[in-house]
């Protein structure tokens, strides 16, 4: 008797809920803790199927679970030892862990379910997960900020490197400019000074022949300096964006013939310029002044770097899609190692020797051609000559 009283006292005061059901799932007993968990009075539960304390879909499948358990003995079928969800009287849910014992009592089988409330543990777990999520967000934000800082640092470093390279490039260009300018200006100015002194001497004896010869030298020196200054001015205008193409519709063949005639005065020895226009179309739409400057630069180079008995081939051609200008010489050619630098400002090929030049002509030519949406290409072999080709897109206008 005392044992029964003690057992009842233990069950009534147990922290965990305890419910016993028969083999049909009918509740036979429920302790106070289980009543508090589900918010039911004992009389509301005893005699009813245990499924009343379950949410769907477990409520509908409970009898099936119990049947399979009795048939197979597989405890997992009814959730034994697992975390499950219970349903209170008001329809709210709470988590719990279920332990089931099979008890043989008075010749029959009774199932005792031990219910441990997991509400506090789940709340703590949820808070921990929220904290972990917040921590993860903070880590991601800080990682992102760090990544952005690194990117900004890398960007700044790239910009700094770019600036340093530009500064280095500018320094190299300045050095080339000083070297070329000092050489190109010194020679003609020395000629001017010398010729002026000689003219003064020849004037005393009225030596007209020598006076005339040195006047020509002075004129040539002045023209040389003027050409150099014009190239520097052209480069400055290009760098400052002051050069804008001014398109007009003009006769390419006529302009080329005029240039051929004008360049006759600068030919050396027995040099010849042979011009030929190919195709029936004559007119194009481009900036006439820029194109003329491009052609003069190429012909002037061909004259300068070719022998005294050489021929300079000058061809123009127009078709339905573009126009091409070709200037070919049989001069000293361009070393292959210099090809990639040929259009850089102040660059001169290594085989030019004492031939005058400032290394700006082809750079200006390339930029003028680009402003007119054209392309410049060349082929060259040392001591065999050079062929330059200018190509410009065109739409034939009748």
Domains and CATH numbers, the chain: 1-118 (3.30.450.20), 123-240 (1.10.287.130), 248-393 (3.30.565.10)
Q: Residue 78 corresponds to which tokens in the numbers above?
A: 């009814």
C-beta of residue 358 within 8 angstroms of C-beta of residue 181: yes
The one-character DSSP state at 38 is H
C-beta of residue 380 within 8 angstroms of C-beta of residue 334: yes
**Stated pTM of the model:** 0.49
From first to last of its 398 residues, what are the pLDDT tens digits of the chain?
A: 566 677 677 777 778 888 888 878 889 889 998 999 999 999 999 999 888 888 887 777 666 666 666 666 554 444 455 778 889 999 999 888 887 777 777 778 788 888 888 888 888 888 888 888 888 888 888 877 777 777 787 787 777 777 777 766 655 655 555 455 545 555 665 566 566 666 656 666 666 666 666 666 666 555 555 555 566 566 667 777 788 889 999 999 999 999 999 888 888 889 999 999 998 888 999 999 899 989 999 998 999 999 999 999 999 999 888 999 999 999 999 999 999 999 988 788 889 887 877 778 898 899 999 999 999 999 999 999 999 999 999 865 54
């Amino acid at each position: 008797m005392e044992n029964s009283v003690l057992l009842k006292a233990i069950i009534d005061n147990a922290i965990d809920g305890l419910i016993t059901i028969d083999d049909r799932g009918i509740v036979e007993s429920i302790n106070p803790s289980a009543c508090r968990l589900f918010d039911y009075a004992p009389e509301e539960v005893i005699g009813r199927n245990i499924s009343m304390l379950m949410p769907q879909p477990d409520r509908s499948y409970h009898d099936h679970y119990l049947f399979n358990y009795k048939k197979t003995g597989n405890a997992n079928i009814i959730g034994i030892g697992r975390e499950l969800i219970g349903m209170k009287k008001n329809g709210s849910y709470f988590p719990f862990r279920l332990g089931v014992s099979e008890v043989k009592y008075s010749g029959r089988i009774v199932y005792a379910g031990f219910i441990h409330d997991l509400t506090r543990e789940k709340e703590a777990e949820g808070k921990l997960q929220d904290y972990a999520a917040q921590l993860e967000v903070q880590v991601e934000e800080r990682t992102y900020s760090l990544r952005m800082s690194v990117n900004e640092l890398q960007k700044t470093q790239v910009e700094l490197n770019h600036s340093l390279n530009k500064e280095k490039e500018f320094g190299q260009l300045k050095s080339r400019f000083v070297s070329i300018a000092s050489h190109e200006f010194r020679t003609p100015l020395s000629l001017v000074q010398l010729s002026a002194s000689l003219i003064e001497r020849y004037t005393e004896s009225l030596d007209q022949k020598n006076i005339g010869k040195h006047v020509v030298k002075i004129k040539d020196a002045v023209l040389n300096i003027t050409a150099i200054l014009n190239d520097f001015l052209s480069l400055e205008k290009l760098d400052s964006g002051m050069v804008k193409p001014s398109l007009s519709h003009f006769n390419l063949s006529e302009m080329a013939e005029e240039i051929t005639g004008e360049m006759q005065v600068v030919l050396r020895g027995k040099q010849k310029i042979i011009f030929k226009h190919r195709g029936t179309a004559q007119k194009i739409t481009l900036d006439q002044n820029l194109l003329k400057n491009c052609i003069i630069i190429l012909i002037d180079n061909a004259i300068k770097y070719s022998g005294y008995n050489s021929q300079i081939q000058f061809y123009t051609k127009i078709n339905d899609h573009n126009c091409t200008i070709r200037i070919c010489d049989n001069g000293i050619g361009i070393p292959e190692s210099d090809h990639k630098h040929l259009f850089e400002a102040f660059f001169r090929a290594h085989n030019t020797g004492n031939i005058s030049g400032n290394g700006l002509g082809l750079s200006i030519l390339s930029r003028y051609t680009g402003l007119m949406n054209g392309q410049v290409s060349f082929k060259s072999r040392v001591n065999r000559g050079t062929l330059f080709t200018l190509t410009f897109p065109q739409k034939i206008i009748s």
